[in-house]
Amino acid sequence: MESPAAPTVPRPQGTAVRPEIPITTTPPVKRERRWSVAALCIVLAVVAALGAAAAVNSASDRTKVLAVARDVPAGQALTAADVTVAEVSTDSVLSPLQASDKASVLGKRTAIELRRGGLLLASQLAAGTGLGDTRQQVGVLVKRGQAPAGTLAPGDKVLAVTTPAQGDNSSTKDDAATPSSINAVVVSLSRPDATGSVVVNLAVATTDGPVLATRASQGRIALVREPRSN
């Protein structure tokens, strides 16, 4: 027995029109963009090279000079611990002393108070040591009451007055006599210790140096400051 034939499906009339699908492709890289990137890289390379050259030139233009290593009061002689070496630009308008001048400045007195970190200038130093060829320097330990409190300064003229020795029973006539004194100039002062005593460096004539040193060692010196207007 034969199977029944499958029904035929009528074909659609006409040909169906398929919708057009756009085809996308990657656009080619423009040559102008590539040239702009290359130009930017070249500019950056040139700028970096110029910056490196400027840094090298700046380093080569620096010079070694003298600077203040710690605070130094006016009138004090400079020591090696007071001076250090620093590097600054050669176009500095302050014209600090060169590092090679360090040996020549040691021992010189400061004309003004120096602050740590500042550059050392020739104008900040007094000529010579302040003593001269005909002057000697004597250190005198001054206790409380033996000098005006807080008023002495480098350059002050003082009288180093000899006080009576301990246990000396002088007569009334001797007490009324003018005490022996030595003319001196204050060179520098130390900072007060725990008892308030200070060491005052005095410049005196060569004939007075030994006498003042002897009396100072006995604690028989008191200082009288002369008027500064003189």
Question: What is the per-residue pLDDT across 14-35, written as a single tens digit (0 to 9) for each?
Answer: 555 555 555 555 555 555 566 6
Q: What is the dihedral of CA 167, 171, 177, 179, to 10 degrees?
A: -10
Q: Grade residue 171 by pLDDT with cuts at 50, 70 and 90.
A: very low
Q: What is the pTM of this model?
A: 0.47
Question: What is the per-residue pLDDT across 184-203, written as a single tens digit (0 to 9) for each?
Answer: 988 878 888 888 888 998 99
**Whether pLDDT at 65 is above 80:** yes
Question: What is the per-residue pLDDT across 201-215, written as a single tens digit (0 to 9) for each?
Answer: 899 998 999 999 999
Q: What is the mean pLDDT of the chain?
A: 77
3-state secondary structure of 102: helix
What is the edge-to-edge ordering of all strands in the sheet holding 221-225? 135-142, 198-205, 181-189, 157-162, 221-225
